[in-house]
Structure 1
């Protein structure tokens, strides 16, 4: 018994939530309203009368059944055949723009056979069951921008007009469906109005959907570079078959060119500025007050030349600079090479041996070869024993210096110094390892290490000081011998 009572209890709670009488429309929506798709309707607290749907040719009254998350589920029971009934649901959500203008979305998928966002279900006359919100509001994808319904309260139309988009706020030449020319749109007379004048061959309501040609901008939304514009037809009356109270424009522009399509009532989900399903109309407009902007396939030769010639000139200048730099660098390298060769020749001339020895006989050639081999052997031996080379050889190599006087090919050589000078230089040289006697013989007994020599000459103490003093005495005596050997004209005169 308890298992039966619980489901019955929850069913009654759900039905009470759906039919508790709390479903009332917003208070601003009382009275008569123009709708983009459903004619002139009348709102009361809980119903909408004179509501026209594509499911049936007659108008019907839709009752507010319940509210779910801000969505108003309305229902009307429509007789389809003499023996069956059809419950039609509109799941409505209202967005207030002003107190006299609302945006309304029907939150269900498009029903294929009527191309309208509505849900229908066949019922019997005695049925009072309502569809849950998940079925009545079965929207599976977002409603495209521009396809919303617009409700405008009757008698307040002019107060809800808006400024028309800049792309059509001018004077434009208009061509309809690519072949009907001679039409003009005036969008500068009043910022909220568009006045159309049609060629007599284009004045059919199947192309214009209006008899006066005057419309006013009522709602506009921008998505990317595309404008969706809802306009209000200023005709005194419309039949909603040939003429319509509302039209919806999809507009894009580029320079002086404007592309648009318009469709009765609301914009279609697949409508663009260059495509619209029947009975919509395509229009191409050219602004009379803007400079022409050519499309990609109409770019003139002058424009191509004007852009490519400067680029080619710039590339030519860059290539010329690169070529000139390479050529100039090669020229400099060539000149440097030639100068080096000339200087080498001149330098080689200074080292040319003026007397060349000729080897007349085989015996002379053999002797020359032996001498050459001895020199090489001596050179190799000298290199191996470089650490013990005598100080005399080092000083001799230092003394034997030559120089050139402005490339005059004149070579001068210093005369050999006096024996006492050799001894002095040998003793004074910190690198000296041996002494030279007057006869040129080496005296190993006088060899000193580097440290000893530095210690004697830099910081002499005790016995070393005596030795240094004796050296200076020898220096003094040698200077005295030098004065005696000098010429009379070069003798130093006492101060």
Structure 2
């Protein structure tokens, strides 16, 4: 964790109030990034040209590619066309792992797919505040998590800048849940069914035992009765 950007004492102080809906911290087990992915939200489901503004200069305008169509859980930025880093990544690949919709904006957490990060120029998580306006998608980034006052149109104090996306190719095909989510659902359902199945087996065994005990009691009762009659 980056000690320069996280103040535990301040963050855990009740006088600061509860976190807002946009201040979401996402934790992903090391080595299981791809198991935590989900489809990126609707504004990001496209292939884009984009421009990036760091607060003083604009980069990548007209020579850029940001793709979220080839794999709708994955953002891929072409650094050959524009070398300005996005989502604090050297490799230019990130996965969507969480999104929420608050006050007409999406807040999207992505996880950098780089094998390692140095917490200096590269970080594992980035949160985007995203909206659509006039046919464009607007976004601002922030390292780690979104912050309370983050808006798509303005650079965050702890972010790198703002982005303006222009679509050049809509994603085609159905928009169903990603396969990984389906697998998770199946596993959860399987666990529930397994527990219920185990309960049924236990009940059956108990029933058999009780039946055997009752049978023994009846047999013993008959034997005792026969002895008295004799």
Distance in 2 separating the partners of 1:179 and 1:266? 24
Superposition deviation, residue 208 in structure 1 = 5.2
Distance in 2 separating the partners of 1:137 and 1:262? 26
Find the residue that maps to 1:119 and give its secondary structure: helix
Distance in 2 separating the partners of 1:228 and 1:169? 14
Count of residue correspondences: 163
1:267 aligns with one of 141, 146, 171: 146
1:212 aligns with one of 68, 78, 91: 91
Superposition deviation, residue 183 in structure 1 = 1.5
1:197 aligns with one of 74, 78, 91: 78
Distance in 2 separating the partners of 1:262 and 1:279? 5
Q: Taking CA–CA contacts closer than 8 Å with sequence separation of 6 or more, which of the two structures ends up with the larger relative contact order?
A: 2
Deviations for 1:67-94, whole angstroms, at most 9, x for unmatched residues?
A: xxxxxxxxxxxxxxxxxxxxxxxxxxxx
Decide which structure has greater helix share.
Answer: 1
CA contact (8 A) 2:93 2:114 kept: yes
Find the residue that maps to 1:159 and give its secondary structure: helix
2:161 aligns with one of 275, 278, 281: 281
CA contact (8 A) 2:38 2:98 kept: yes
Structure 2 length-normalised TM? 0.64
Distance in 2 separating the partners of 1:171 and 1:241? 29
Deviations for 1:81-108, whole angstroms, at most 9, x for unmatched residues?
A: xxxxxxxxxxxxxxxxxxxxxxxxxxxx
Distance in 2 separating the partners of 1:213 and 1:252? 22
1:249 aligns with one of 124, 128, 139: 128
Deviations for 1:153-199, whole angstroms, at most 9, x for unmatched residues?
A: 12322111000111111111100006211121111101101111136
Find the residue that maps to 1:220 and give its secondary structure: strand
Q: Is the aligned partner of 1:185 residue 2:66?
A: yes
Match of 2:26 in 1: 150
CA contact (8 A) 1:221 1:229 kept: yes
Distance in 2 separating the partners of 1:162 and 1:255? 27
Distance in 2 separating the partners of 1:159 and 1:220? 16
Listed as ranges, the matches of 1:312-391 within 5 Å are: none
Listed as ranges, the matches of 1:81-230 within 5 Å are: 116-119=6-9, 137-177=13-53, 179-180=58-59, 181=61, 182-198=63-79, 202-205=82-85, 209-230=88-109
Unaligned 5+ segments in structure 2 are: 171-230
CA contact (8 A) 1:256 1:288 kept: no
Change (3 A) 1:248 1:208: closer
CA contact (8 A) 2:22 2:146 kept: yes
After TM superposition, where is structure 1 displaced by more than 6 Å over at least 4 residues in a row?
A: none
Change (3 A) 1:139 1:161: farther
Distance in 1 separating the partners of 2:166 and 2:110? 20
Distance in 2 separating the partners of 1:225 and 1:208? 22
Change (3 A) 1:208 1:266: closer
Superposition deviation, residue 209 in structure 1 = 1.6
Change (3 A) 1:270 1:156: same
Superposition deviation, residue 249 in structure 1 = 0.7
Higher mean alpha-carbon deviation, 261-270 vs 218-227, is at: 261-270
Distance in 2 separating the partners of 1:204 and 1:175? 10
Flag the structure with larger Rg: 1
